[in-house]
Structure 1
Amino acid sequence: MVHREQLTGAFDQLLQPARFKDYGPNGLQVEGRDDVHRIVSGVTASRALIEAAIAEQADAIVVHHGLFWRGQDGRVTGWMKQRLALLLAHDINLFAFHLPLDAHPELGNNAQLARVLDLRADGRFGEQDLGFLGARSDGSAFADAGALAAHVERALGRKPILVEGRTGPITRLAWCTGGAQGWFEDAIAAGAQAFLTGEISEPQAHYARECGVSFLACGHHATERYGAPAVAQHVAQALGLEHRFIDVDNPA
């Protein structure tokens, strides 16, 4: 068992949230009980995750997508009231780390996606160097974009949306989890032959075909299932706490 402040300090030391200009507050978003012995991690601070954490008798929840975002309606009504009411009634601490969780070189979303897809990162690109550049861990090429898409589907259990901009072998990849489709042009400029992210918007299909770089939308949730549990498990193990990852299904 540790005090909440000790847990907060461990997360801050690991993820260094003060380094990032983000879209919402990183760190402790909702204060709960002082003493923590059990952590639940998940992707998003949804009501379903909070209810599951209550059933697990968790003292703290660690997520990638927290409750508060820049520019949102500040009223505590509807879904926001329901989530906050559960957290406060059960005295549960809520920690959220957005860009710091994407960026960590070993435990973050991009690093963990590379692990799952058997990729090796050797560079960064994009805003705050959040995007990763690299290749297959063994140095081999994917035969083509279709082979890469099939590899992603096997690893993530979700069929990606593929826009096959490049024909032929793919050796140089860029990736950034979640909603990073707007960074496709940066990935192209960085020399990628294929770009993997969570989502696709209308312009990216045209860029892929016109620039000869393949684009794979692999799912926002599907690409960001790995960072939060990796970070939470690392911190829990260091502090002697219990940890469980709860994956709330999301087709996005």
Structure 2
Amino acid sequence: MQLMQLLNSIDQWLEPWRYKDYAPNGLQVEGRAEVARIVCGVTASQALIDVAIARQADAILVHHGYFWKGEDARLVGMKRQRVAKLLQHDISLLAYHLPLDAHPELGNNARLAAVLGLDVAGQSGEQGLLWHGSWPKAGSARDFADHVSMLLGRPAQLLGDENQRVSKVAWCTGGAQGFFEEAIALGVHAFVTGEVSEQCFHLANEYGVAFIAAGHHATERYGVQVLGEKISHLHGINVEFVDLFNPV
């Protein structure tokens, strides 16, 4: 398949122009024009590039790409080494950030809800990134944290009263601890995201809402997998998801 045809298909699904993002969405580094094999992962790290080279991939598809706002724009150090490898092996880099968080079917929030068995009630917050709904099983905050840990395969950090009853839940994958107060305002019993900040401890205890930090990487593995599966199914491209270890 032609690279530009692939990009057009993904753009139709994710509609990246709808989002005010922190990095460019879509093609970030251009490689060969024909795409028959894709390696996808959460972050375009050197380790993922090395895997793509070994698998003779034509493109890499990720959630976390390059060229973030506020970072040093120069191609030096780690960034230079990564981009040099991509260009040397003629491999394209495709990255989708917020469009792959908020999409109602392919997005990280939608897929995390499916993995955790949450019933979705709606989206709110900045650009629809804060989701809310319910946990049908219900139980204590400790029960819910253990449920999250088991399904994500990673110990989740629980802040707040572990005996707090949880049925109403809000969530936003990745580094969304800044949405905690918005989640509290929705009247939920627990909030799930990837990362945690110091003030979350006090908010959880003083508002009586459990905070669960389940890992930035762990909560954002699913959108890119489903997007890759859709590409493979509709376009017949060989797509392989590589889940490289990241404890954060």
TM-score, with structure 2 as normaliser = 0.98
- Match of 1:159? 155
- 1:140 aligned onto 2:137: yes
CA distance in 1, matches of 2:75, 2:137: 52
Q: 1:93-148: per-residue Cα shift (whole Å, max 9, x none)?
A: 10000000001111111111111111121111211111111112xx331x210000
CA distance in 2, matches of 1:120, 1:95: 31
- Contact 2:102–2:108 under 8 Å retained in 1: yes
- 1:215 aligned onto 2:214: no
CA distance in 2, matches of 1:208, 1:224: 23
- 1:47 aligned onto 2:46: yes
- Match of 1:241? 237
Whichever residue aligns with residue 105 of structure 1, its letter is P
- 1:102 aligned onto 2:98: no
Q: Once the two structures are aligned, what percentage of the paired residues are identical? A: 55
Structure 2 counterpart SS, 1:124: strand
- Contact 1:166–1:209 under 8 Å retained in 2: no
C-alpha displacement at 1:3, in angstroms? Answer: 0.4
Matches within 5 A, 1:117-196: 117-136=116-135, 139-141=136-138, 143-165=139-161, 167-196=163-192
C-alpha displacement at 1:166, in angstroms? Answer: 6.8
Q: 1:19-70: per-residue Cα shift (whole Å, max 9, x none)?
A: 0000010000000000001111100000000110111111111100001100
- Contact 2:164–2:210 under 8 Å retained in 1: no
C-alpha displacement at 1:167, in angstroms? Answer: 3.7
CA distance in 2, matches of 1:189, 1:54: 47
CA distance in 2, matches of 1:68, 1:251: 23
TM-score, with structure 1 as normaliser = 0.96
- Contact 1:172–1:193 under 8 Å retained in 2: yes
Structure 2 counterpart SS, 1:80: helix
Aligned-residue CA RMSD (Å): 1.0
- Match of 2:36? 37
- Contact 2:113–2:120 under 8 Å retained in 1: yes
Stretches of structure 2 that go unaligned for 5 or more consecutive residues are none
CA distance in 2, matches of 1:42, 1:237: 18
**Count of residues paired in the alignment:** 248
Structure 2 counterpart SS, 1:182: helix
CA distance in 2, matches of 1:150, 1:36: 41
- Contact 1:132–1:174 under 8 Å retained in 2: yes
CA distance in 2, matches of 1:54, 1:230: 22
CA distance in 2, matches of 1:215, 1:95: 33
CA distance in 2, matches of 1:121, 1:58: 36
